[in-house]
Each structure stands twice: as C-alpha cells, then as structure tokens.
Homo-oligomer: A and B are copies of this chain.
Amino acid sequence: MKLKVRLTHLDAGGKLLVIMNAEDAEELGVRSLSRVMLRKNGLEAIAIVNTTTRMFHRGSVGVCLEVQQRLQLCEGEMIDVELSNPPNSLNHIKKRLKGRKLTHAEIKEIIRDVVNGLLSDVELTSFVTSIQHFALDMDEATSLSIAMVESGKTLQLDKKIIVDKHSIGGVPGDKTTLLVVPIVASCGLTIPKCSSRAITSAAGTADRAEVYMPVNLSLEEMRRVLEKADGCIVWGGALHLAPADDIFVNIEFPLSIDPLLLPSIMSKKKAVGSKFVVIDIPTGAEVKVKTMVEAQLLAQDFIEIGRRLEMNVQCAITYGGQPVGHAIGPALEAREALENLTNMRLHRDLVDKATDIAGMLLEMAGIQDGEAKAMYALKSGRAERKMREIIAEQGGNPDINPEDIPVGQYTLDIEAEHHGILLWIDMPRLVEIARLAGSPKDKGAGVLLHKKLGEKVSKGDKLFTVYSEKAGKLESVYSSLKDSPIMLVGHSMEMTLSCVKDYKPQPDRFMLDR
C-alpha cells in the first residue's frame, strides 16, 4: 500500500510509531499495535501501528519523529507500507509470559529490539511485569546485564585499578558519593562515577554534584577528566551506557515496581570497566530493604552477578533509619558535603559511612588499613584538593566554598511543641516535603534537619527548616505540614501507630531511584 507521509513531530519515546487511518489499516489487515514494514528508496523500518479515524484521511500515514529520522522522510512524499510480522523478540517475551525462563540469545534479542524502538509499551510492560512476578534468576540477570552493556557505549580507560561504588538508594540526604569519590581518587585509584538524577527522591548524586560543576559530560569528556584526575562524578543519562535501562524506567516508574534493580546497576558498573565495586545497601523500615535478612540475600545476588561479570563485588549493609547528615536537597547537600571535605564541619554519620565504603574499596584494591587511610585522606585535606581538581576538570569553579552555594531564600522553620527526645522521622514524607518545596528541579530547595534521632529537644527548638526558591511552593509545604507531623518528639514511643477502622489506601511512597 502506498501512503502519503504526514510528519507529526511527535516523539514516541524512542519507539518507531506510525498512525494510520483505521480503514487503511483494516484494508492492510493490521490492528492497533500490529507491525508494518515501511520502505523508501532502499531504506526500511518496522513500525508499530496506531490507528485513527480522524487525524488522517485514507491514503495518508502519520509518522513520529523517530520514523521520520530513520527513513529521512519529508512531508507529502509517498512510502510503501506493508504488513509485517512482529519482531522475533516478541515471541521471547510471550514465552516468558508463559512462565519459561529466557536464554542468553533471547534476552540479547529483546534488549536489541528495545533499544531500536521495535517494541510497544504493551509489550515492554508485559515483559517488565512478568519479571516483577517471576523474578529474574541469576542466569537471566547476568544475560540482561551483558545485553544491556553490549547495546550501549562503554568506557575504555588506560588505568590500572578501576573501582566504583553504588547505593541502591532510598535514604534521603545520602551524599556519601561526594566524599567517597575524592577520597578514593586521592589514594591513587580510578573511580569513574556515573550517577543518576532524582526520579522519586529529593536529589540524585548527579543533581548534587551539578551544584559544583557541569555533570552532563559526554563519554569522551568523562574519559578526559578521568585521565587527569582519576575521579569524576557525571550524570549517567547522557552517556548511553545502558540505553535499554532508560526505556524500562519509563515502564517501572508509573507502576512503582523495580524488578530490574540488579542488571540496571551492574550493567553500568561493567560498562565503565570497574573491577572492584562496593554496593551500599541501606537497610531500615522506611527504605527499600527493610530487614537484615533481605539485605544479606540481595548482597549475595550482587556478589554472584559480579563474579559472573568478572567484577569483584562487596556490599556494605548500612543503617537506613534516618537521613545521612542533616541536609536534603541538591544545594543544601552539596554545601554540607563541601563542609565535610574542607573539614569546616564534620557530620559523624556521613564521615563514618564515606570512610567505611572508601576503606572497603581501598582494601579490595590491595591497600591495607583502608578505613584509616580513607580517614587520613579526608582529614589531611587531600580529598578536598582532589575534589577541587575534579571540579576544575569538569568545568566548575575549583575555588568554591560552602558559603558560596546559594540556597532557597524562602524558609520555614518547624519548632518542637514539647520537650523530649527525637524518636522518629518520617523519611518518605521528608522527601515529599523537599519535593513540594521544589527539589530536585529548584536546586536551592530542600530541608535542613536541626535534630537527629535520639537527640534531646526542648519546647520551641527548631526541628527542621524548609528552603524554597518560590514563596508559593513554601505555602504548599506549609499546608502539607499542618495536616500531619513528620517528626515525633517524646519520652517513649507511642505504641499504637494507626487505628484501622476501615480500609484507606496509604499514599504511594515508592522509591525507584537506585
């Protein structure tokens, strides 16, 4: 069937989509989400069909940006549209829907077609949901990691010892990476740190680091920084290290599920050539991993997958019961990290966590007394100098000081209503408040804690301060805080947490960030 091209300028999220008139589609024998083969002057592409009764008349076909670019199409030109079989990878997805595990070759084919935009949202979702229901076994997780690496770019570094760290996420204010990278790099190891931006959290490491310096580096720019400074903190999203993962995230996010945690993290570690990796697994009732048993099992999986991918992996199971340090939100956290790097102020928990993880990496790389050496790098100012070197190489101002970092000019102080001990912090709500205030988009927005668990509180003491760049956003924060408190101050825990009289679904507090 010859059809006239109509450019829609619609970006289909990487998918190859065409919009056909419903009668043309029936004539050709395709339904919505069936496939057609498009051909023009020797170029061809398989596209997914959507149908319309009114957007286009018979004889016309709307093409999304991706199809336009793939086939170099112009408005009004004719292309050949024929019925096509779905890609073979769809058979593999259907096979898994029937409860069968997938082979390496099948997973490779799926990932290739995901990246090439050949699978529809319905097909992608059934695959992700199937993995949510019947978890990946070790073979599948390994194959997925390898396929994700092979479908993307990789970093080739001429360095002896390449190490990396990653937190599976979930603890607000976790700026540990901003300390670990300069500590480890200042000890002679190479750490090509790729970080993500916030999806459901108040700040991702990339958001925090961006307060100091550009983080949207290309792979070549990243390589250049590493050659000189042995460390970097860049945003992973622009590097195309595992492009399939970005597509899966778009499915996982609306469903609040995270079945691809292992391959998502491990593929990116492999893609940058890491040999020694520490995975941080924060554990606590209000983060992703609730119990030590779960944490141990997950750690075992990370170590085993690491072995199969030829990476030496160790895991740090860390306390996830309250925020790390006092600051939550990109600028507040960047400021706090810099205070610690410059020894202007040390946050015990942050320093403890950073030197523990850095110490593990040093020892994995053969350096004895890792933690002590990490602490020395921090206290001696060597980590600070390394951080300033990295900032300079990534194009930031190497002379930046904590007080130079602007934070939101609108603030709201929350005070204690009575004396006691700070017994409990609602971390998901803390994130909610920071996001209401504008995090992560408004870098200066966030929350600064003045008290942490177990500290004595007097009536009228400031418990925390909310920062915002916009007065209107602070008003939303104010009305949200009025409804229910975020911290519990008292002398002993109140035993009844909630009276359930009828069923009321709890608000969704899912953390996808990993």
Contact = CB atoms under 8 A, between A and B. Distances in A.
Interface of A: 8-11, 13, 19, 26-27, 29, 31-34, 50-55, 65, 86, 88, 90-95, 97, 99, 120-126, 128-130, 132-134, 199, 250-251, 253-257, 435, 441, 505, 508
A168 B11 CA distance: 40
B10 A55 contact: yes
B129 A97 contact: yes
29 contacts: A9-B55, A11-B51, A11-B52, A13-B50, A31-B199, A32-B250, A33-B253, A54-B65, A86-B254, A86-B508, A88-B505, A91-B505, A92-B505, A93-B255, A94-B255, A94-B256, A95-B505, A97-B129, A97-B132, A97-B133, A97-B255, A99-B133, A122-B124, A122-B125, A123-B255, A125-B125, A126-B128, A130-B133, A133-B134
Contacts of A55: 8-11
A129 B128 CA distance: 10
A123 B254 contact: yes
B33 A120 contact: no
Contact of A121 (B8, B52, B125, B199): B125
Given A54-B11, A94-B255, A97-B257, A33 B250 contact: yes
A55 B13 CA distance: 13
A68 B445 CA distance: 36
Contacts of A8: 55
Nearest to A93: B255
Given A53-B11, A122-B255, A441 B129 contact: no
Contacts of A94: 255-257, 508
Contact of A133 (B128, B133, B250, B257): B133
Nearest to A505: B91
* A-B residue pairs, 4 tightest by C-beta: A125-B125, A129-B129, A133-B133, A9-B55
Nearest to A441: B26
Nearest to A120: B254
A441 to B, nearest CB: 6
A445 to B, nearest CB: 12
Given A88-B505, A122-B251, A126-B129, A441 B97 contact: no
Q: A55, A95, A123: which has the most chain B beta carbons within 10 Å?
A: A55
A406 to B, nearest CB: 20
